Amino acid sequence: DAKTTQPTSMDCAEGRAANLPCNHSTISGNEYVYWYRQIHSQGPQYIIHGLKNNETNEMASLIITEDRKSSTLILPHATLRDTAVYYCIVIYTGANSKLTFGKGITLSVRP
Amino acid sequence: KAGVTQTPRYLIKTRGQQVTLSCSPISGHRSVSWYQQTPGQGLQFLFEYFSETQRNKGNFPGRFSGRQFSNSRSEMNVSTLELGDSALYLCASSLGSGAGEKLFFGSGTQLSVL
């Protein structure tokens, strides 16, 4: 599976958009980009995933560059409850059970 | 719909003992996978079961084993516990194990080995 690179941490103000970047320059054609987040002492929570097109759901938007080498998770109106570690993962078809979570990015939402 | 349920939530054992952790997936989900999470190593894949068959296995010693029952509930067992086995053990379920599946995680079992 392709490796991902994320900044260690970032913060944003409550109510503002949080844009979390992820680099996956070695991604191959059949690999999906997934985002999960983990709030302290809980299991990871699925946020969104995509293959080529941009995706949006009730939680977030996922913007994937045309060359698929990077992506951005957008939380449109961050709240204090969005403070968590966010993991960007690239996974091949049929192998999502071998998800390998890196260090992720710690997002701190400040009042 | 109830989420993924893991029991017990906390467990304290001593070295050399063995432990069994339980996971009940979301109703209708047939795939269950297990992960170990520690501060130093992050979240690491243990194994995955689909329809009672082990499909994938991570790089853990044979002391770590699991099984899945016909109702998709799963158990994992760790024998001859070592101090380094102290970790948060997470279970995740999904409908299948194909491309584009979403994993739904339980809250985990926090195991402390003394």
Q: What is the pLDDT of residues B33-77, one digit of tens each?
A: 999 999 888 888 898 999 999 988 888 999 999 999 999 999 999
Average pLDDT over residues A52-76: 95
Contact with chain B for residue A30, Cβ under 8 A: yes
Which 73-102 residues of chain A touch chain B by CB within 8 A?
Answer: 92-102
The tokens describing B79, both together, are: 């024998």
How far B41 CA sits from the closest chain A CA (Å)?
9
Contact A73, A57 (CB under 8 A): no
Tell me whether residues A97 and B106 touch, CB distance under 8 A.
no
Give B50's contacts (C-beta < 8 A, 6+ positions apart). B30, B31, B32, B68, B96, B97
Please report the sign of the dihedral spanned by the C-alpha atoms of residue B6, residue B75, residue A39, residue A41. Answer: positive
For residues A101 and B6, the model is more confident at: B6
Q: What is the pLDDT of residues B4-14, one digit of tens each?
A: 999 999 999 99
How do B42-50 and B10-13 pair as beta strands?
unpaired
Geometric angle at alpha carbon A94, from A92 and A95, rounded to 5°: 60
The shortest CB-CB distance from A101 to any of B43, B55, B99 is to: B43
